[in-house]
Structure 1
Amino acid sequence: MNDVTAVAQLVLHERRARDRGWWDLMREFLAPDAAIRLSWFRGRGAAFIAASQEMAARGDAATHILSPATVDVVGDRAVVEIGAAIHLRGDLHGVEVDLTSHARLLYRAERRGGRWLITSLDPVYEYDSLAPSTPGTAVWLEADVLARARPSYRMLTCLLSAKDYTIADDLYGDDRPEPVRQLYRTLFDWLRADTKK
């Protein structure tokens, strides 16, 4: 298997393991010191797996529908971009709702000890939507949460805040293009850093 294919399969297997609750398998793909920065979590890889287990135990498990991955490899480093539609069914103030959050997942991966591992994950949130699972049912949104929520992950903020998750306001999103441009520059500078030595 060439490196591009190996890295693409790495991120696909990690997402599948998380969606299915295969926590031991997820550990095989994610470096313990990986930097993870999501709407509801910020920390290292090992803590992310534990927090994902807790989230699933609360009934808040998400499903990721993924686009083909774009992979750039330079030596023992790789950058991956993969489009994702993140689906979450949950209860919002007594009404069952379906959330879809559209994002681009940006990964760093490194070859360590002869195998590829994910060493960072940063989503770029694009937009989201929320609908009642039963059409025609009224959904109540808290006006103050809605007013302060970022456009790129507004509905995600409303749903997860109602479940007592703390949602960061400084995430990457298409509503703030300059930090997103800087993220891409940082990723590709890191990717090519070894070639500049």
Structure 2
Amino acid sequence: MTDPMTDFVDVVAHEREGRDRGWWDQMAGCYHHDSRVRSMWFTGTGEQFAAASRAMAERGDHARHRLSVPSVHRHGQRAVVSMPMAIELRVDVHGVEADLVSYARGIYRMERRDGQPKICDLSTIYERDTLTAVVPGTSLSVDHERLAAMPASYRMLAYYFDIRGYSVDPDLPGDDQPAMAEALLTEAFDWLVD
């Protein structure tokens, strides 16, 4: 017999693995059909998120997610999983090869339906990010005015996505927006016991 807590964490791990490895069917299969995903560059269902992630990878934008130990809060057939992660990209910024790392927490609302635990909602709380040249001593310049318009908790990530032509949501929960982050968590935990 499997541990119900482990089942929820396994789904999150398989969803991230699918995204990182380009296993799009695996990624999409981790979501309920009526799911919702909200991130800096995407809003839609889990299936649409997998398709959009595939299109992103086909454009040459590949992210990897380093996951930390999750926190699982379970009530009946539902769970809220908070997964700390580092979103890592090797990117070209104005002709300079750079490493971009964005630290965030994925907030997964999950529900077991017909015996299958899957994701109902994925939202992100952004913490901070960094952008450094791959080769030490290489000068990496950015458009400071454009950068200043980006949210502090995901400034570098938003800047890169903006210069790549993605639509960036500038108003998401982050450590620089603690009231919004708290509201997201309150909404998730209210849903858990609803």
Identify the TM-score tier after normalising by the shorter chain.
over 0.9
- Cα distance in 1 for residues equivalent to 2:12 and 2:169: 24
Q: Which runs of 5+ in 2 are unaligned?
A: none
Cα drift, residue 80 of structure 1: 0.2
Amino acid at match of 2:104: A
Q: Secondary structure at the match of 1:54?
A: helix
8 A contact 1:132–1:138 mirrored in 2:
yes
- Cα distance in 1 for residues equivalent to 2:109 and 2:125: 14
- Cα distance in 2 for residues equivalent to 1:123 and 1:95: 28
TM-score, with normalisation over the residues of structure 1? 0.95
Amino acid at match of 1:12: A
What is the 5 A alignment of 1:36-55?
36-55=37-56
Q: CA-to-partner distance for each residue in 1:141-162, whole Å, 9 max, x for gaps?
A: 1122211111100111111111
Q: Secondary structure at the match of 1:173?
A: coil
Q: Which runs of 5+ in 1 are unaligned?
A: none
8 A contact 2:22–2:54 mirrored in 1:
yes
Q: Does 1:66 align with 2:67?
A: yes
Q: Percent identity?
A: 45
8 A contact 1:142–1:158 mirrored in 2:
no
- Cα distance in 2 for residues equivalent to 1:154 and 1:123: 14
Q: Secondary structure at the match of 1:13?
A: helix
Q: Secondary structure at the match of 2:119?
A: strand
Q: Does 1:17 align with 2:18?
A: yes
What is the 5 A alignment of 1:1-197?
1-193=2-194
RMSD of aligned residue pairs (Cα, Å): 1.0
Cα drift, residue 183 of structure 1: 1.1
- Cα distance in 2 for residues equivalent to 1:128 and 1:32: 32
Q: CA-to-partner distance for each residue in 1:151-189, whole Å, 9 max, x for gaps?
A: 100111111111111110111101011111111111111
- Cα distance in 2 for residues equivalent to 1:34 and 1:136: 45
Cα drift, residue 32 of structure 1: 2.8
